Amino acid sequence: MKSHPQFNEKWLQGKIVDDASILGLGDLAVKDVERIQPRAGRLDLLLSRPETGTRFEVEIQLGASDESHIIRTIEYWDIERRRYPQYDHVAVIVAEDITSRFLNVIQLFNGFIPLVAIQVQAIEVNDAVTLVFTKVLDQVTLGANDDEDEDDPTDRTFWEHKSSTSMLGFTDQLFKLLSEESGHELLPKYNKHYIGVSDGGQVTNYVVFRPRKQKINVEMRLPISEEMTNMIEEAGMTFLSYNDRWGSYNFLIDPKDISTNATVLKEIFRRSRLRYMGSEAE
């Protein structure tokens, strides 16, 4: 697109404004276009996720990515997060060619700077143009430290008092589903703030549980998607929120629905486990 007379950066920017979901980051709203930055130029796009308030500082570059592009993207992200600290902020780089050298540089920042790199291609067939966006580097979220439960270990009795004995029994049913899905036994790791997952003594918190008095709060690490949200809601579970900072879904399940939702729950657990392991959930 870089040398094309019509399909230029302005045209690409307009397509994203028309439908920000084409980036593959979920159903985002457009907050601003060509947003003026104090003594630092203009931010191409400022997008937001209405349900969480997370803001995405998006920079577009046609052709191959370069060093100035990443510097500019991070600078705009930093300006916005300082101006509006009440929101979570994610830097997004969109380029036709995310080079391996550029990717190596980005990965040095990822985990410290919430950064997403997206490669875009314009495919022209019979005078029709299709845009294909591919996420080549996803945001590495600084989720709950897998070892943090070592600081506040508790036991089953603690949670029985916090919720109830019967609710712990229902939580056991969820761990049975976890074990069936993974193919080997997974055990609860009791912590003051949540019940994590222990795999042979190793903490693998791709899902955590917080039994309440009547329902069980489930938190799992997965990218937000309409498919996953619908899967949760259509099964009758209560979708509470999506946490962009931690990259996790938060929903409630009624104990009486565990058995009827066993297949759905195991599929959700499978995707979360594969995601946690760094594999692509198919």
pLDDT digits (tens, 9 = 90+) for 221-233: 888 888 888 899 8
pLDDT at 59 over 70: yes
pLDDT digits (tens, 9 = 90+) for 154-177: 899 999 998 999 999 999 999 999
* Cβ–Cβ under 8 Å, residues 90 and 64: no
CATH 3.40.1350.10 for domain 9-137, yes or no, is yes
Portion of the chain with pLDDT greater than 70, in percent? 89
pLDDT at 179 over 90: yes
pLDDT digits (tens, 9 = 90+) for 238-265: 888 787 777 788 899 999 889 899 999 9
**Confidence band of 282 (pLDDT split at 50, 70, 90):** very low
Q: Which residues of 21-60 are buried (b: 16+ CB within 10 A; e: fewer)?
A: eebebbebeeeebebebeeeeebbbbbbbeebebbbbbbb
3-state per-residue secondary structure call for 59-71:
EEEEEECCHHHHH
Helices (H) and strands (E) in the chain, counts: 7, 13
Tell me which of 55 and 244 has the higher pLDDT.
Answer: 55
pLDDT at 149 over 50: no
pLDDT at residue 143, rounded to an integer:
42
In sequence order, which residues have a C-beta less than 8 Å from that of residue 123 and are 6 or more positions away? 129, 130, 131, 132
pLDDT digits (tens, 9 = 90+) for 185-210: 999 999 988 999 999 888 889 999 99
CATH architecture of 148-277: Alpha-Beta Complex (3.90)
Report domain extents, the chain: 9-137, 148-277
pLDDT at residue 1, rounded to an integer:
53
**Confidence band of 5 (pLDDT split at 50, 70, 90):** low
* pTM, entire model: 0.56
CA–CA separation, 235 and 227 (whole Å):
12
**Confidence band of 144 (pLDDT split at 50, 70, 90):** very low
Rounded average pLDDT over 251-280: 87
Tell me if residue 167 falls in helix, strand or coil.
helix
Portion of the chain with pLDDT greater than 90, in percent? 32
* Same-fold call for 9-137 versus 148-277: no
In sequence order, which residues have a C-beta less than 8 Å from that of residue 167 and are 6 or more positions away? 211, 212, 213, 214, 216, 255
